[in-house]
Chains A and B, each alone.
Chain A
Protein backbone atom coordinates (compact mmCIF):
# COMPACT_ATOMS: atom_id res chain seq x y z
CA UNK A 1 0.00 0.00 0.00
CA UNK A 2 1.44 3.33 -1.01
CA UNK A 3 0.57 6.68 -2.50
CA UNK A 4 1.28 7.07 -6.23
CA UNK A 5 1.90 10.57 -7.50
CA UNK A 6 1.72 11.43 -11.19
CA UNK A 7 4.27 14.09 -12.13
CA UNK A 8 3.98 15.89 -15.46
CA UNK A 9 7.21 17.06 -17.07
CA UNK A 10 7.87 19.39 -19.98
CA UNK A 11 11.25 20.13 -21.55
CA UNK A 12 12.90 18.06 -18.84
CA UNK A 13 11.49 20.11 -15.97
CA UNK A 14 8.87 18.92 -13.50
CA UNK A 15 5.89 21.27 -13.88
CA UNK A 16 5.24 23.56 -10.95
CA UNK A 17 1.77 22.07 -10.42
CA UNK A 18 3.36 18.63 -10.25
CA UNK A 19 5.77 19.78 -7.52
CA UNK A 20 2.65 20.78 -5.58
CA UNK A 21 1.11 17.39 -6.33
CA UNK A 22 4.28 15.58 -5.23
CA UNK A 23 4.32 17.50 -1.98
CA UNK A 24 0.61 16.83 -1.47
CA UNK A 25 1.10 13.12 -2.14
CA UNK A 26 4.01 12.89 0.29
CA UNK A 27 1.92 14.53 3.00
CA UNK A 28 -0.98 12.15 2.38
CA UNK A 29 1.49 9.26 2.60
CA UNK A 30 2.75 10.60 5.93
CA UNK A 31 -0.84 10.88 7.19
CA UNK A 32 -1.39 7.22 6.30
CA UNK A 33 1.99 6.02 7.56
CA UNK A 34 3.35 5.00 4.17
CA UNK A 35 5.61 6.36 1.42
CA UNK A 36 4.97 8.21 -1.81
CA UNK A 37 6.19 6.96 -5.17
CA UNK A 38 6.04 9.12 -8.30
CA UNK A 39 5.50 8.11 -11.91
CA UNK A 40 6.78 10.55 -14.51
CA UNK A 41 4.97 11.46 -17.72
CA UNK A 42 6.00 13.87 -20.47
CA UNK A 43 9.54 14.85 -21.39
CA UNK A 44 11.39 13.99 -18.19
CA UNK A 45 14.99 14.32 -17.12
CA UNK A 46 16.33 11.89 -14.53
CA UNK A 47 18.33 14.45 -12.57
CA UNK A 48 15.26 16.62 -12.12
CA UNK A 49 13.18 13.61 -11.15
CA UNK A 50 15.65 12.75 -8.40
CA UNK A 51 15.09 16.21 -6.97
CA UNK A 52 11.49 15.21 -6.18
CA UNK A 53 13.03 13.98 -2.94
CA UNK A 54 12.78 17.61 -1.86
CA UNK A 55 9.01 17.29 -2.00
CA UNK A 56 9.13 14.08 0.05
CA UNK A 57 9.00 11.49 -2.75
CA UNK A 58 11.08 8.40 -2.01
CA UNK A 59 11.02 6.65 -5.39
CA UNK A 60 10.35 7.78 -8.97
CA UNK A 61 9.32 5.36 -11.72
CA UNK A 62 10.52 6.41 -15.13
CA UNK A 63 9.56 4.75 -18.41
CA UNK A 64 12.00 5.85 -21.10
CA UNK A 65 9.55 5.09 -23.95
CA UNK A 66 10.09 8.14 -26.21
CA UNK A 67 6.46 8.31 -27.37
CA UNK A 68 5.43 9.26 -23.83
CA UNK A 69 6.85 12.72 -24.41
CA UNK A 70 3.53 13.98 -25.77
CA UNK A 71 0.25 13.40 -24.03
CA UNK A 72 -1.44 10.21 -25.23
CA UNK A 73 -4.50 9.48 -23.16
CA UNK A 74 -4.56 5.71 -23.53
CA UNK A 75 -0.84 5.20 -23.10
CA UNK A 76 -0.67 7.44 -20.03
CA UNK A 77 -3.65 5.69 -18.50
CA UNK A 78 -2.09 2.27 -19.01
CA UNK A 79 1.29 3.44 -17.74
CA UNK A 80 -0.17 4.80 -14.53
CA UNK A 81 -2.55 1.88 -14.03
CA UNK A 82 0.39 -0.54 -14.39
CA UNK A 83 2.43 1.48 -11.89
CA UNK A 84 -0.51 1.59 -9.49
CA UNK A 85 -0.84 -2.20 -9.61
CA UNK A 86 2.91 -2.73 -9.12
CA UNK A 87 3.04 -0.33 -6.18
CA UNK A 88 -0.31 -1.50 -4.82
CA UNK A 89 -1.28 2.12 -4.63
CA UNK A 90 -4.49 2.83 -2.79
CA UNK A 91 -4.26 6.52 -3.47
CA UNK A 92 -3.28 8.20 -6.71
CA UNK A 93 -2.63 11.93 -6.72
CA UNK A 94 -2.42 13.99 -9.90
CA UNK A 95 -2.74 17.59 -11.02
CA UNK A 96 -6.16 18.92 -11.94
CA UNK A 97 -4.75 19.76 -15.36
CA UNK A 98 -6.08 18.89 -18.77
CA UNK A 99 -3.78 15.86 -18.67
CA UNK A 100 -4.42 14.93 -15.04
CA UNK A 101 -8.20 15.10 -15.30
CA UNK A 102 -8.29 13.19 -18.60
CA UNK A 103 -6.15 10.39 -17.21
CA UNK A 104 -7.72 10.46 -13.74
CA UNK A 105 -11.24 9.94 -15.06
CA UNK A 106 -10.21 6.95 -17.18
CA UNK A 107 -8.19 5.48 -14.32
CA UNK A 108 -11.11 5.77 -11.94
CA UNK A 109 -13.14 3.46 -14.17
CA UNK A 110 -10.25 1.09 -14.92
CA UNK A 111 -9.12 0.75 -11.30
CA UNK A 112 -12.63 1.00 -9.79
CA UNK A 113 -11.53 3.98 -7.75
CA UNK A 114 -13.50 6.92 -6.44
CA UNK A 115 -12.37 10.25 -7.88
CA UNK A 116 -12.36 13.84 -6.66
CA UNK A 117 -11.15 16.60 -8.98
CA UNK A 118 -10.37 20.25 -8.20
CA UNK A 119 -9.19 19.39 -4.67
CA UNK A 120 -7.83 22.31 -2.64
CA UNK A 121 -6.70 20.85 0.71
CA UNK A 122 -5.16 17.77 2.28
CA UNK A 123 -7.70 15.03 3.07
CA UNK A 124 -9.25 14.49 6.47
CA UNK A 125 -8.94 10.87 7.42
CA UNK A 126 -10.47 10.78 10.88
CA UNK A 127 -13.45 8.63 11.86
CA UNK A 128 -12.71 6.05 9.17
CA UNK A 129 -13.87 8.42 6.44
CA UNK A 130 -11.75 9.93 3.71
CA UNK A 131 -12.93 13.47 3.01
CA UNK A 132 -11.47 16.05 0.63
CA UNK A 133 -12.37 19.67 0.14
CA UNK A 134 -12.89 20.66 -3.49
CA UNK A 135 -13.87 23.77 -5.39
CA UNK A 136 -17.42 23.77 -6.79
CA UNK A 137 -19.83 26.13 -8.52
CA UNK A 138 -16.96 27.52 -10.59
CA UNK A 139 -15.09 29.11 -7.74
CA UNK A 140 -18.20 30.33 -5.94
CA UNK A 141 -18.14 27.61 -3.26
CA UNK A 142 -16.41 24.55 -1.81
CA UNK A 143 -17.69 21.08 -1.07
CA UNK A 144 -16.41 18.45 1.33
CA UNK A 145 -16.61 15.17 -0.55
CA UNK A 146 -16.42 11.73 1.02
CA UNK A 147 -14.59 9.23 -1.18
CA UNK A 148 -15.71 5.65 -0.74
CA UNK A 149 -14.07 2.37 -1.68
CA UNK A 150 -10.66 0.88 -1.42
CA UNK A 151 -8.95 3.05 -4.02
CA UNK A 152 -9.06 6.79 -4.40
CA UNK A 153 -7.87 9.28 -6.97
CA UNK A 154 -7.33 12.92 -6.11
CA UNK A 155 -6.76 15.68 -8.68
CA UNK A 156 -5.26 18.71 -6.93
CA UNK A 157 -6.12 22.22 -8.09
CA UNK A 158 -3.13 24.27 -9.20
CA UNK A 159 -1.75 26.88 -6.81
CA UNK A 160 -4.06 25.76 -4.02
CA UNK A 161 -1.44 23.85 -2.03
CA UNK A 162 2.16 24.75 -1.47
CA UNK A 163 5.08 22.66 -2.68
CA UNK A 164 7.46 21.99 0.22
CA UNK A 165 11.17 22.07 -0.46
CA UNK A 166 13.41 20.00 1.75
CA UNK A 167 16.68 21.02 0.14
CA UNK A 168 19.19 18.32 -0.69
CA UNK A 169 16.92 15.30 -0.32
CA UNK A 170 16.83 13.03 -3.34
CA UNK A 171 14.49 10.36 -4.60
CA UNK A 172 15.63 7.10 -6.13
CA UNK A 173 14.84 7.04 -9.86
CA UNK A 174 14.14 3.53 -11.15
CA UNK A 175 13.35 2.50 -14.67
CA UNK A 176 9.93 1.13 -15.25
CA UNK A 177 8.49 -0.52 -18.33
CA UNK A 178 4.74 -0.63 -18.75
CA UNK A 179 5.20 -2.68 -21.96
CA UNK A 180 3.22 -0.23 -24.02
CA UNK A 181 2.35 -1.37 -27.53
CA UNK A 182 1.52 0.53 -30.72
CA UNK A 183 -2.18 0.12 -29.98
CA UNK A 184 -1.74 2.16 -26.81
CA UNK A 185 -0.55 5.06 -28.92
CA UNK A 186 -3.42 4.92 -31.42
CA UNK A 187 -4.84 8.20 -30.09
CA UNK A 188 -1.48 9.99 -30.22
CA UNK A 189 -1.64 13.57 -31.47
CA UNK A 190 -0.57 14.07 -35.07
CA UNK A 191 0.78 17.50 -34.21
CA UNK A 192 1.47 19.56 -31.10
CA UNK A 193 1.43 23.34 -31.38
CA UNK A 194 2.71 25.41 -28.48
CA UNK A 195 1.75 29.05 -28.08
CA UNK A 196 4.08 31.87 -27.39
CA UNK A 197 3.69 32.39 -23.68
CA UNK A 198 4.31 35.84 -22.30
CA UNK A 199 7.72 35.44 -20.67
CA UNK A 200 7.27 31.67 -20.74
CA UNK A 201 4.77 31.74 -17.87
CA UNK A 202 1.72 29.51 -18.18
CA UNK A 203 -1.43 31.23 -17.00
CA UNK A 204 -2.94 28.22 -15.18
CA UNK A 205 0.25 27.81 -13.11
CA UNK A 206 1.19 31.47 -12.70
CA UNK A 207 1.64 32.96 -9.23
CA UNK A 208 1.21 36.51 -10.49
CA UNK A 209 -1.31 37.54 -13.13
CA UNK A 210 -2.02 40.88 -14.81
CA UNK A 211 -5.38 40.90 -16.56
CA UNK A 212 -7.15 43.34 -18.85
CA UNK A 213 -10.80 43.98 -19.69
CA UNK A 214 -12.77 46.13 -22.08
CA UNK A 215 -11.51 49.20 -20.24
CA UNK A 216 -8.20 48.67 -22.09
CA UNK A 217 -10.05 49.92 -25.19
CA UNK A 218 -8.23 47.79 -27.77
CA UNK A 219 -5.50 45.23 -28.43
CA UNK A 220 -3.05 48.00 -29.37
CA UNK A 221 -2.94 49.02 -25.70
CA UNK A 222 -1.96 45.58 -24.37
CA UNK A 223 1.67 46.62 -24.22
CA UNK A 224 0.71 48.37 -20.95
CA UNK A 225 -0.49 45.05 -19.51
CA UNK A 226 2.48 43.16 -20.93
CA UNK A 227 5.02 45.68 -19.62
CA UNK A 228 3.73 45.37 -16.07
CA UNK A 229 3.49 41.59 -16.41
CA UNK A 230 7.05 41.42 -17.67
CA UNK A 231 8.39 43.61 -14.88
CA UNK A 232 6.63 41.43 -12.29
CA UNK A 233 7.32 38.09 -13.96
CA UNK A 234 3.57 37.60 -14.28
CA UNK A 235 1.33 35.88 -16.83
CA UNK A 236 -1.35 37.82 -18.70
CA UNK A 237 -5.09 37.14 -18.72
CA UNK A 238 -8.28 38.83 -19.93
CA UNK A 239 -12.05 38.99 -19.54
CA UNK A 240 -14.41 37.10 -21.83
CA UNK A 241 -15.51 39.96 -24.10
CA UNK A 242 -11.84 40.70 -24.77
CA UNK A 243 -11.18 37.20 -26.08
CA UNK A 244 -14.58 37.05 -27.82
CA UNK A 245 -13.55 39.92 -30.07
CA UNK A 246 -10.06 38.44 -30.50
CA UNK A 247 -8.16 41.21 -28.77
CA UNK A 248 -6.50 38.37 -26.91
CA UNK A 249 -6.33 34.57 -27.46
CA UNK A 250 -9.00 32.35 -25.91
CA UNK A 251 -6.63 30.58 -23.56
CA UNK A 252 -6.23 33.85 -21.64
CA UNK A 253 -9.95 34.10 -20.87
CA UNK A 254 -10.61 33.65 -17.16
CA UNK A 255 -13.96 33.21 -15.48
CA UNK A 256 -16.85 30.86 -15.15
CA UNK A 257 -16.70 29.85 -18.82
CA UNK A 258 -12.95 30.28 -19.17
CA UNK A 259 -10.30 29.01 -16.85
CA UNK A 260 -10.32 29.29 -13.08
CA UNK A 261 -7.08 30.48 -11.56
CA UNK A 262 -5.85 31.02 -8.03
CA UNK A 263 -2.61 32.98 -8.22
CA UNK A 264 -1.05 34.80 -5.27
CA UNK A 265 -1.75 38.11 -6.99
CA UNK A 266 -4.38 39.06 -9.57
CA UNK A 267 -4.28 42.60 -10.97
CA UNK A 268 -7.49 43.49 -12.84
CA UNK A 269 -7.19 46.45 -15.20
CA UNK A 270 -10.34 47.93 -16.69
CA UNK A 271 -12.48 44.94 -15.73
CA UNK A 272 -15.89 45.63 -14.16
CA UNK A 273 -16.06 42.49 -11.99
CA UNK A 274 -19.13 40.70 -13.35
CA UNK A 275 -20.14 37.65 -11.29
CA UNK A 276 -19.00 35.30 -14.09
CA UNK A 277 -15.59 36.91 -14.15
CA UNK A 278 -15.18 36.88 -10.36
CA UNK A 279 -15.97 33.16 -10.27
CA UNK A 280 -12.77 32.47 -12.17
CA UNK A 281 -10.45 34.58 -10.03
CA UNK A 282 -11.89 35.02 -6.56
CA UNK A 283 -9.71 32.34 -5.03
CA UNK A 284 -6.66 34.48 -5.83
CA UNK A 285 -4.87 35.30 -2.59
CA UNK A 286 -4.59 39.04 -3.24
CA UNK A 287 -6.73 40.95 -5.73
CA UNK A 288 -5.86 44.42 -7.02
CA UNK A 289 -8.42 46.37 -9.03
CA UNK A 290 -7.69 49.37 -11.22
CA UNK A 291 -10.85 50.96 -12.57
CA UNK A 292 -11.88 54.54 -13.27
CA UNK A 293 -15.39 53.89 -11.93
CA UNK A 294 -15.43 53.89 -8.09
CA UNK A 295 -18.73 51.98 -8.24
CA UNK A 296 -17.28 49.09 -10.28
CA UNK A 297 -18.42 45.86 -8.54
CA UNK A 298 -14.89 44.45 -8.64
CA UNK A 299 -13.82 46.76 -5.79
CA UNK A 300 -16.06 44.74 -3.42
CA UNK A 301 -13.98 41.66 -4.16
CA UNK A 302 -10.63 43.42 -4.01
CA UNK A 303 -7.89 43.72 -1.39
CA UNK A 304 -6.28 46.79 -2.93
CA UNK A 305 -7.77 49.25 -5.38
CA UNK A 306 -6.90 52.30 -7.40
CA UNK A 307 -9.71 54.46 -8.72
CA UNK A 308 -8.10 55.84 -11.84
CA UNK A 309 -7.40 55.62 -15.53
CA UNK A 310 -5.49 52.49 -16.54
CA UNK A 311 -3.58 54.45 -19.16
CA UNK A 312 -2.19 56.67 -16.45
CA UNK A 313 -1.84 54.11 -13.62
CA UNK A 314 -0.27 51.14 -15.43
CA UNK A 315 2.94 52.91 -16.52
CA UNK A 316 3.38 54.20 -12.97
CA UNK A 317 3.06 50.69 -11.56
CA UNK A 318 5.52 49.31 -14.10
CA UNK A 319 8.01 52.02 -13.22
CA UNK A 320 7.56 51.34 -9.50
CA UNK A 321 8.21 47.61 -9.98
CA UNK A 322 11.33 48.36 -12.00
CA UNK A 323 12.49 50.72 -9.27
CA UNK A 324 12.11 47.92 -6.68
CA UNK A 325 14.20 45.41 -8.54
Chain B
Protein backbone atom coordinates (compact mmCIF):
# COMPACT_ATOMS: atom_id res chain seq x y z
CA UNK B 1 0.00 0.00 0.00
CA UNK B 2 1.44 3.38 -0.99
CA UNK B 3 0.41 6.21 1.32
CA UNK B 4 0.77 9.86 0.38
CA UNK B 5 0.46 12.23 3.34
CA UNK B 6 0.06 15.93 2.57
CA UNK B 7 1.40 18.30 5.18
CA UNK B 8 0.95 22.01 5.40
CA UNK B 9 3.46 24.31 7.12
CA UNK B 10 1.54 26.63 9.45
CA UNK B 11 2.20 29.14 12.26
CA UNK B 12 2.41 27.50 15.70
CA UNK B 13 -0.96 27.53 17.48
CA UNK B 14 0.29 30.03 20.08
CA UNK B 15 1.14 32.61 17.39
CA UNK B 16 -0.29 36.09 17.84
CA UNK B 17 -1.39 36.85 14.32
CA UNK B 18 -0.02 40.08 12.78
CA UNK B 19 0.19 41.44 9.26
CA UNK B 20 2.57 43.61 7.29
CA UNK B 21 1.78 47.36 7.63
CA UNK B 22 -0.22 47.41 4.39
CA UNK B 23 -2.29 44.43 5.68
CA UNK B 24 -1.52 42.54 2.51
CA UNK B 25 0.60 39.74 3.94
CA UNK B 26 0.93 37.64 7.04
CA UNK B 27 3.91 38.88 9.05
CA UNK B 28 6.20 35.87 9.47
CA UNK B 29 8.71 37.72 11.63
CA UNK B 30 9.46 35.73 14.77
CA UNK B 31 6.81 33.13 13.94
CA UNK B 32 7.53 29.47 14.58
CA UNK B 33 6.12 27.16 11.89
CA UNK B 34 4.86 23.69 12.65
CA UNK B 35 3.25 20.77 10.84
CA UNK B 36 -0.47 21.59 10.68
CA UNK B 37 -1.85 19.84 13.81
CA UNK B 38 -4.51 17.90 11.87
CA UNK B 39 -1.91 16.64 9.39
CA UNK B 40 -0.14 14.92 12.29
CA UNK B 41 -3.15 12.60 12.60
CA UNK B 42 -2.87 11.76 8.89
CA UNK B 43 0.85 11.08 9.18
CA UNK B 44 0.67 8.95 12.30
CA UNK B 45 -2.29 6.92 11.01
CA UNK B 46 -0.50 6.21 7.72
CA UNK B 47 2.56 4.97 9.63
CA UNK B 48 0.39 2.82 11.92
CA UNK B 49 -1.45 1.26 8.96
CA UNK B 50 1.81 0.56 7.17
CA UNK B 51 3.24 -1.06 10.30
CA UNK B 52 0.11 -3.13 10.81
CA UNK B 53 0.24 -4.37 7.22
CA UNK B 54 3.95 -5.12 7.52
CA UNK B 55 4.61 -3.58 4.13
CA UNK B 56 4.09 -0.39 2.17
CA UNK B 57 5.52 3.10 2.04
CA UNK B 58 4.59 6.48 3.48
CA UNK B 59 5.56 9.52 1.41
CA UNK B 60 5.06 13.03 2.75
CA UNK B 61 4.26 15.86 0.40
CA UNK B 62 4.39 19.58 0.95
CA UNK B 63 3.74 22.38 -1.48
CA UNK B 64 6.02 25.11 -0.29
CA UNK B 65 9.31 26.89 -0.59
CA UNK B 66 12.60 25.70 0.91
CA UNK B 67 11.80 27.13 4.34
CA UNK B 68 9.30 24.29 4.94
CA UNK B 69 12.04 21.63 4.88
CA UNK B 70 12.59 21.52 8.66
CA UNK B 71 8.99 20.37 9.07
CA UNK B 72 9.31 17.91 6.19
CA UNK B 73 12.36 16.45 7.97
CA UNK B 74 10.31 16.32 11.15
CA UNK B 75 7.68 14.23 9.34
CA UNK B 76 10.46 11.92 8.15
CA UNK B 77 11.71 11.70 11.74
CA UNK B 78 8.21 10.74 12.90
CA UNK B 79 8.37 7.80 10.51
CA UNK B 80 7.63 8.67 6.86
CA UNK B 81 9.92 6.89 4.38
CA UNK B 82 10.53 9.64 1.88
CA UNK B 83 9.35 13.12 0.97
CA UNK B 84 8.44 15.29 -1.98
CA UNK B 85 8.39 19.08 -1.93
CA UNK B 86 6.69 20.90 -4.78
CA UNK B 87 8.82 23.98 -4.97
CA UNK B 88 6.30 26.83 -5.06
CA UNK B 89 4.68 29.31 -2.72
CA UNK B 90 1.23 27.81 -2.12
CA UNK B 91 -0.95 30.48 -3.67
CA UNK B 92 -4.39 29.11 -2.91
CA UNK B 93 -6.21 25.87 -2.28
CA UNK B 94 -6.86 25.18 -5.96
CA UNK B 95 -3.21 25.63 -6.82
CA UNK B 96 -2.14 23.36 -3.95
CA UNK B 97 -4.72 20.73 -4.96
CA UNK B 98 -3.39 20.69 -8.53
CA UNK B 99 0.10 20.00 -7.25
CA UNK B 100 -1.05 17.22 -4.95
CA UNK B 101 -3.19 15.63 -7.68
CA UNK B 102 -0.24 15.67 -10.10
CA UNK B 103 2.11 14.02 -7.60
CA UNK B 104 -0.54 11.47 -6.61
CA UNK B 105 -1.16 10.49 -10.21
CA UNK B 106 2.51 10.27 -11.10
CA UNK B 107 3.30 8.06 -8.10
CA UNK B 108 0.06 5.99 -8.31
CA UNK B 109 -0.59 6.30 -4.58
CA UNK B 110 -3.33 4.14 -3.08
CA UNK B 111 -4.27 6.24 -0.08
CA UNK B 112 -3.95 10.03 0.04
CA UNK B 113 -4.27 11.40 3.56
CA UNK B 114 -4.56 15.02 4.62
CA UNK B 115 -5.57 16.99 7.67
CA UNK B 116 -9.10 18.24 8.16
CA UNK B 117 -8.08 21.80 7.37
CA UNK B 118 -5.09 24.10 7.56
CA UNK B 119 -5.12 26.24 10.69
CA UNK B 120 -3.87 29.26 8.75
CA UNK B 121 -6.19 29.59 5.76
CA UNK B 122 -8.91 27.26 7.10
CA UNK B 123 -9.93 26.28 3.61
CA UNK B 124 -11.30 22.80 4.36
CA UNK B 125 -11.27 22.21 0.62
CA UNK B 126 -7.98 20.81 -0.70
CA UNK B 127 -9.08 17.19 -0.06
CA UNK B 128 -12.34 17.57 -1.98
CA UNK B 129 -10.58 19.26 -4.88
CA UNK B 130 -7.91 16.55 -5.09
CA UNK B 131 -10.56 13.80 -5.02
CA UNK B 132 -12.45 15.48 -7.84
CA UNK B 133 -9.30 16.11 -9.90
CA UNK B 134 -8.38 12.43 -9.64
CA UNK B 135 -11.98 11.20 -9.99
CA UNK B 136 -11.83 9.28 -6.70
CA UNK B 137 -13.84 9.54 -3.46
CA UNK B 138 -12.91 11.91 -0.66
CA UNK B 139 -13.98 11.22 2.90
CA UNK B 140 -13.75 14.39 4.97
CA UNK B 141 -13.43 14.84 7.87
CA UNK B 142 -12.61 11.31 9.01
CA UNK B 143 -12.43 10.43 12.70
CA UNK B 144 -11.49 6.79 12.15
CA UNK B 145 -9.72 4.90 9.37
CA UNK B 146 -9.20 1.15 9.20
CA UNK B 147 -7.96 -0.84 6.26
CA UNK B 148 -8.45 -4.43 5.25
CA UNK B 149 -6.74 -5.21 1.95
CA UNK B 150 -7.82 -2.58 -0.54
CA UNK B 151 -10.92 -1.64 1.39
CA UNK B 152 -11.06 1.13 3.95
CA UNK B 153 -13.75 1.71 6.55
CA UNK B 154 -13.99 5.26 7.78
CA UNK B 155 -16.07 7.23 10.22
CA UNK B 156 -16.95 10.55 8.75
CA UNK B 157 -18.12 13.33 11.02
CA UNK B 158 -21.38 15.01 10.03
CA UNK B 159 -23.14 17.71 12.00
CA UNK B 160 -24.80 15.90 14.86
CA UNK B 161 -23.40 12.46 14.17
CA UNK B 162 -21.24 10.27 12.03
CA UNK B 163 -21.47 8.15 8.92
CA UNK B 164 -19.71 4.86 8.39
CA UNK B 165 -18.30 4.85 4.87
CA UNK B 166 -16.56 2.04 3.02
CA UNK B 167 -14.37 2.85 0.04
CA UNK B 168 -11.83 1.02 -2.08
CA UNK B 169 -8.41 2.40 -2.93
CA UNK B 170 -7.52 4.82 -4.33
CA UNK B 171 -9.23 7.42 -2.17
CA UNK B 172 -8.58 10.67 -0.31
CA UNK B 173 -9.34 11.14 3.38
CA UNK B 174 -8.85 14.11 5.64
CA UNK B 175 -8.09 13.25 9.22
CA UNK B 176 -8.96 14.61 12.65
CA UNK B 177 -9.13 13.47 16.24
CA UNK B 178 -9.71 10.92 17.69
CA UNK B 179 -8.18 8.92 14.83
CA UNK B 180 -4.92 8.21 16.61
CA UNK B 181 -2.43 9.63 19.08
CA UNK B 182 -0.05 11.76 16.97
CA UNK B 183 3.55 10.58 17.34
CA UNK B 184 6.51 12.76 18.10
CA UNK B 185 9.98 12.10 16.70
CA UNK B 186 12.42 10.03 18.75
CA UNK B 187 16.22 10.26 18.64
CA UNK B 188 16.60 7.37 16.23
CA UNK B 189 13.97 8.90 13.96
CA UNK B 190 15.75 12.23 13.95
CA UNK B 191 19.06 10.56 13.04
CA UNK B 192 17.61 8.49 10.18
CA UNK B 193 15.51 11.40 8.85
CA UNK B 194 18.65 13.20 7.74
CA UNK B 195 19.43 10.62 5.10
CA UNK B 196 15.91 9.80 3.92
CA UNK B 197 15.19 10.96 0.34
CA UNK B 198 13.56 14.39 -0.13
CA UNK B 199 12.79 15.10 -3.76
CA UNK B 200 12.11 18.64 -4.94
CA UNK B 201 9.88 18.99 -7.99
CA UNK B 202 8.62 22.03 -9.92
CA UNK B 203 5.00 23.21 -9.83
CA UNK B 204 2.52 22.42 -12.60
CA UNK B 205 -0.95 23.53 -13.66
CA UNK B 206 -3.00 26.66 -13.89
CA UNK B 207 -2.60 29.77 -11.74
CA UNK B 208 -4.57 30.38 -8.55
CA UNK B 209 -8.25 31.32 -8.75
CA UNK B 210 -8.37 33.45 -5.62
CA UNK B 211 -6.15 36.18 -4.22
CA UNK B 212 -6.11 37.81 -0.81
CA UNK B 213 -6.61 41.57 -1.14
CA UNK B 214 -6.30 42.41 2.53
CA UNK B 215 -6.19 40.98 6.04
CA UNK B 216 -7.83 42.33 9.17
CA UNK B 217 -7.83 41.49 12.85
CA UNK B 218 -11.10 41.08 14.74
CA UNK B 219 -12.33 44.19 16.57
CA UNK B 220 -11.02 44.52 20.13
CA UNK B 221 -13.36 43.86 23.05
CA UNK B 222 -14.50 46.90 25.06
CA UNK B 223 -13.38 45.42 28.36
CA UNK B 224 -15.07 43.06 30.74
CA UNK B 225 -17.95 44.06 33.00
CA UNK B 226 -17.59 42.18 36.29
CA UNK B 227 -20.57 41.00 38.28
CA UNK B 228 -20.27 40.05 41.93
CA UNK B 229 -20.45 36.28 42.49
CA UNK B 230 -22.92 36.84 45.34
CA UNK B 231 -25.23 38.54 42.86
CA UNK B 232 -24.72 36.11 40.00
CA UNK B 233 -28.38 36.33 38.97
CA UNK B 234 -27.74 39.96 37.96
CA UNK B 235 -25.77 38.61 35.00
CA UNK B 236 -28.88 36.99 33.55
CA UNK B 237 -30.73 40.32 33.71
CA UNK B 238 -27.85 42.05 31.91
CA UNK B 239 -27.82 39.37 29.23
CA UNK B 240 -31.51 39.93 28.63
CA UNK B 241 -31.83 43.70 28.99
CA UNK B 242 -28.43 45.07 28.05
CA UNK B 243 -26.77 42.54 25.73
CA UNK B 244 -30.18 41.30 24.51
CA UNK B 245 -28.91 37.81 23.71
CA UNK B 246 -31.35 35.73 25.75
Interface positions of A (Cβ within 8 A of B) = 10, 15, 70-71, 73-74, 77, 96-99, 101-106, 108-110, 113-118, 131, 133, 135-149, 186-187, 189-195, 197, 202, 204-205, 207-208, 232, 250-251, 253, 256-257, 260, 264-265, 275-276, 279, 282-283, 285-289, 299-309, 312-313, 316-317, 319-321, 323-324
Contact = CB atoms under 8 A, between A and B. Distances in A.
Contacts of A195: 160-162
Given A299-B224, A317-B232, 12 more contacts: A97-B159, A105-B93, A108-B129, A116-B210, A117-B122, A136-B215, A137-B17, A146-B211, A193-B162, A202-B159, A304-B225, A304-B235
A201 to B, nearest CB: 10
Interface of B: 11, 13-14, 16-17, 19, 26, 37-38, 93-94, 97, 119-129, 131-133, 137-141, 143, 156-167, 177-178, 209-218, 221-222, 224-229, 232-233, 235-240, 243, 245-246
A145 B210 contact: yes
Contacts of B216: 133, 141-144
Given A143-B214, A149-B209, A302 B17 contact: no
A105 to B, nearest CB: 3
Contacts of A106: 128-129, 131-132, 138
A305 B233 CA distance: 12
A180 B19 CA distance: 47
A192 B13 CA distance: 33
A265 B239 contact: yes
B17 A306 contact: no
Given A105-B132, A275-B14, A305 B229 contact: no
Secondary structure call for the A interface: mixed
Nearest to A276: B13
B94 A108 contact: yes
B3 to A, nearest CB: 20
A253 B126 CA distance: 23
Contacts of A116: 210
Contacts of A114: 94, 209-210
B240 A324 contact: yes
Contacts of A232: 246
Contacts of B163: 70-71, 189, 191-193
The 5 residue pairs across chains A and B that have the minimum distance between CB atoms:
A105-B128, A308-B229, A320-B233, A189-B163, A194-B161
